[in-house]
Amino acid sequence: MSGPAFSLRPGRDPDAAGFIDLIGGCWAEYPGCVMDLDGEVPELRALASYYAGQGGAVWAAEADGGLAGMVGSRPLGGDAWEICKMYVAGSQRGTGLAQALLQAAEGHARSHGAATMKLWSDTRFTRAHRFYEKHSYVRSGPIRVLGDKSNSIEFAYAKPLAGIAVQLLDAAAAGSAEGRLAAVLKDCVDGGASVSFLPPLDLAAARAFWRRAATAVAAGKRMLFAAWAEGEIVGTVQLDLDTPPNQPHRADLAKMLVMRHARRRGIARQLMVAAEAAARAAGRTLLVLDTWEGGEAEPLYRSLGWIEVGRIPDYALLADGKLGATVVFYRQL
């Protein structure tokens, strides 16, 4: 693999000095991050052998005559693999090198049967968090404390890697998925979907919407689902549980969205099935939704057994500036 200013190759044990310098330089950017080479990371002296012994691999990136990036990947058991020791020199950030490294590690894991990718990232590495979240990783599980000289505390991230997968997001995952979900919403709105916004949708407004949604998830008022296709978040749906006291059995289904390039693959149907199953588990026996008359979602809802209540004319502005009707559906579980 190559880019305009870098090249990737398998890492080798003789890369030790380059790996050590690269990691040390990256850690030096953060106060309190120190390297105790032989005490805490002795595997850096022969990293290729270390990962090979675990059934994994390591890659090195060269640029400007030196080692400018690295990443490792190893199996965790079952169908899960881990991204390890991903670092890019400051001079190579923004060049596409980080993405190339991640794709190499994920591709290797996928070719060896991985269905889930996991990783850990120091809570101080905020730039890395944005990068992983851009590539559809979400916060997963509790933090861990390493007890090392750097006083490291790490966030866990994960994502489904292969095929189509739908997951219910907790508050931490919902917050970390904000950027990707904003991209989904913008793609759908800009493509003409009538879902409360008009095109062209400002990305900041889209992010603000999902931040509010994550807040509702944290408060227990909403369930938020995300759909991945080949490792990319491409769809979502919500269940609004914040119903009046006399309607504890009901929930509203909202914002069923699938990016245009990922449609016709059954993703919307899987999102709906997951939402209905979660509603049943939460004791909700009546679901309600409304959708744009003539929109792509209307036939889907009918095929899943949703029953039309009626239509409200001139309900909302459509992308072309005209008023459109909405169709109200319900489904008894």
CA distance between the termini of the chain: 51
- Token code pair at residue 195: 């879902």
Cβ distance 290 to 326 under 8 Å? yes
pLDDT tens per residue across span 269-280: 999 999 999 999
pLDDT tens per residue across span 11-20: 999 999 999 9
Q: Can you name the CATH fold of 164-332?
A: Aminopeptidase (3.40.630)
Taking every pair of Cα atoms in the chain, the longest distance, rounded to a whole number of angstroms, is 72
Of 205, 275, 194, 191, residue with least CA distance to 240:
275
- Token code pair at residue 159: 């994502």
pLDDT tens per residue across span 76-105: 999 999 999 999 999 999 999 999 999 999
* Residue 304 half-sphere exposure toward CB, CA atoms < 13 A: 23
Tell me the three state secondary structure of residue 181. Answer: helix
Of 23, 81, 72, 80, residue with least CA distance to 47:
72
- Prediction pTM value: 0.95
pLDDT band with cut points at 50, 70 and 90 for residue 3: very low
Cβ distance 274 to 166 under 8 Å? yes
What is the spatial distance between Cα 332 and Cα 117, in angstroms, rounded to a whole number?
37
- Could you give the residue range(s) of every CATH 3.40.630.30 domain in the chain? 7-160, 164-332
Domain 7-160 belongs to what architecture?
A: 3-Layer(aba) Sandwich (3.40)
